[in-house]
Amino acid sequence: MVPKSSSTRLPRARSKPLVSEKAERFTESVIRDMTRQAHLYGAINLAQGFPDFPAPAEIKRAAQQAIAADVNQYAITWGAKSLRQAIATKMKKWQGLEIDPEAEITVCCGSTEAMIASLLAITNAGDDIVIFEPFYENYGPDAILSDARPRFVTLHPPAEPAGEWRFDEQELRAAFGPRTKAIILNTPNNPTGKVFTRAELEFIRGLCLEFGALAITDEIYEHILYDGARHISIATLDGMRERTITINGMSKTYSVTGWRVGWAVASPALTNAIRKVHDFLTVGAPAPLQEAGATALSLPDSYYQELAAAYRARRDRLLPALQQAGFKTFVPRGAYYIMTDISSFGFPDDVSFAQHLVKDIGIASVPGSSFYSHPQLGARQVRFAFCKTDATLDEAARRLLQVRGR
Ligand code: GLN
């Protein structure tokens, strides 16, 4: 006799949604997807913002030495002492801020984790988070994952290519209310290249104080500045030291985006909460790379001057190539992206244009819609990253000449 298969005795499976409502509410990162498409079509990757040139030799050596010296186990969960000390010293020197490395710094897996850990640490369900748009695409899903409600405020593009992106003070004020927990700032800004002025930051401070809101400021591009632009940390403004979470990291300043070392700096009370969330998210950032981070943050001032000058040269290489190809460009004052207006090409939207660029022209870019709350708002924009070698940028310029309108 053949025994009955055990499966016949299983109860009928009840059907339930497999994934959470939260996970349904956002898509995969378009930036990371464009990198995969660049691989697929053999295109030049001007989409995801990572350098295609080497990191500084002394930093790589420091990482190799740390591994050889067996710094291969967990660092302290909120960061290796040497790196926290180096962060505090650097912030004192550049921002004039006195930071206690024992109580006010949390080292995370990149500034990406620092941002989500901060939001998870401060928000309750239904809290409002004010976000300028266009925005770095992570902030939208970050708000959803932390059960917060994003309130988007427009950064209006300049009428002239060399003009500044600006927010309207009344529009910003209207986004604040009793439920506002925080505003997310990103200066220098991705994707617009805007560098927030002191007057703008003072206006934002006024709203933060009036509404009891925090500022979470992503300053990962702090050293990548052009045309005399000055980076100002909102934490340095009177009244903001205790209500600011300052986020930064090694990725952009030291050309090591794959190392995943970033940090959040905040008052002890905020840091306590951020550290707890961080501990259970990731335990810690890579220990040997944190040691190398201490070396990186101790580089002389000339390193930062050269970094900015090199990025300026790269910006000024790609800008004319885009203009010649027919793009309307917005000239960045900081960070390493050029936002463009693609209206003159006559494509139906940014996504179809970016598809044409990656498949037919061999250049990956990021469709503007991935920086906006509604695709329509970015349908005439495309972003290019210029953190690339001269050879890469020259080849991109050559290919851009093939772009034709529809
Ligand atoms: N900041 C980079 C960009 O905007 C990418 C960051 C990432 O993919 N984690 O392209």
pLDDT tens for residues 162-193?
889 999 999 999 999 999 999 999 999 999 99
From 33, 35, 37, 50, mutation site for ligand 1 pocket: most ligand atoms within 8 A of C-beta: 50
Task: Name which of 248, 253, 226 is nearest 309 in CA terms.
Answer: 226
**To the nearest whole percent, how much of the chain has pLDDT over 90?**
95
Model pLDDT, residue 339: 98
Closest residue by CA, ligand 1 atom 1 = 49
Model pLDDT, residue 401: 92
Model pLDDT, residue 160: 84
- Ligand 1 in contact with 25 (CB < 6 A)? no
Residue 369 has pLDDT above 80, yes or no: yes
From 45, 135, 220, 257, mutation site for ligand 1 pocket: most ligand atoms within 8 A of C-beta: 257
- How far apart, in Å, do the first and last CA atoms of the chain sit? 72
- Ligand 1 in contact with 31 (CB < 6 A)? yes
Q: How far is CA 355 from CA 192, 221, 311, in A?
A: 21, 28, 27
Q: Which residues of 123-151 are buried (b: 16+ CB within 10 A; e: fewer)?
A: beeebbbbbbbbbbbbbbbbbbbbebebb
| 42-76 pLDDT per residue, tens | 999 999 999 999 999 999 999 999 999 999 999 99
Cα of 146 vs centre of ligand 1, distance in Å, is 20
Cα of 17 vs centre of ligand 1, distance in Å, is 31
Cα of 368 vs centre of ligand 1, distance in Å, is 14
Task: Name which of 325, 326, 341 is nearest 401 in CA terms.
Answer: 325
Cα of 49 vs centre of ligand 1, distance in Å, is 5
Identify whether the C-beta of residue 182 lies closer than 8 Å to the C-beta of residue 129. yes
Strands 363-364 and 44-45: parallel
Nearest atom within ligand 1 for CA of residue 32? 8
Identify whether the C-beta of residue 35 lies closer than 8 Å to the C-beta of residue 45. yes
Cis check for the bond before 188: say yes or no (omega within 30 of 0).
yes
Cα of 154 vs centre of ligand 1, distance in Å, is 21
- Ligand 1 in contact with 146 (CB < 6 A)? no
Residue 111 has pLDDT above 70, yes or no: yes
- Ligand 1 in contact with 49 (CB < 6 A)? yes
- Ligand 1 in contact with 48 (CB < 6 A)? yes
Nearest atom within ligand 1 for CA of residue 191? 4
Least confident of 11-20, 121-130, 281-290, 380-389: 11-20
- Ligand 1 in contact with 190 (CB < 6 A)? yes
The overall pTM is greater than 0.85? yes
Count of residues for the chain?
406
Nearest atom within ligand 1 for CA of residue 137? 4
Closest residue by CA, ligand 1 atom 2 = 49
Nearest atom within ligand 1 for CA of residue 35? 8
Model pLDDT, residue 161: 76
Residue located via tokens 């010296």:
69
Residue 1 has pLDDT above 60, yes or no: no
Nearest atom within ligand 1 for CA of residue 112? 9
| Mean pLDDT score, 283-302 | 97
Residue 114 has pLDDT above 80, yes or no: yes
- Ligand 1 in contact with 138 (CB < 6 A)? no
**To the nearest whole percent, how much of the chain has pLDDT over 70?**
98
Q: What tokens does 175 get?
A: 């986004």
Cα of 10 vs centre of ligand 1, distance in Å, is 47
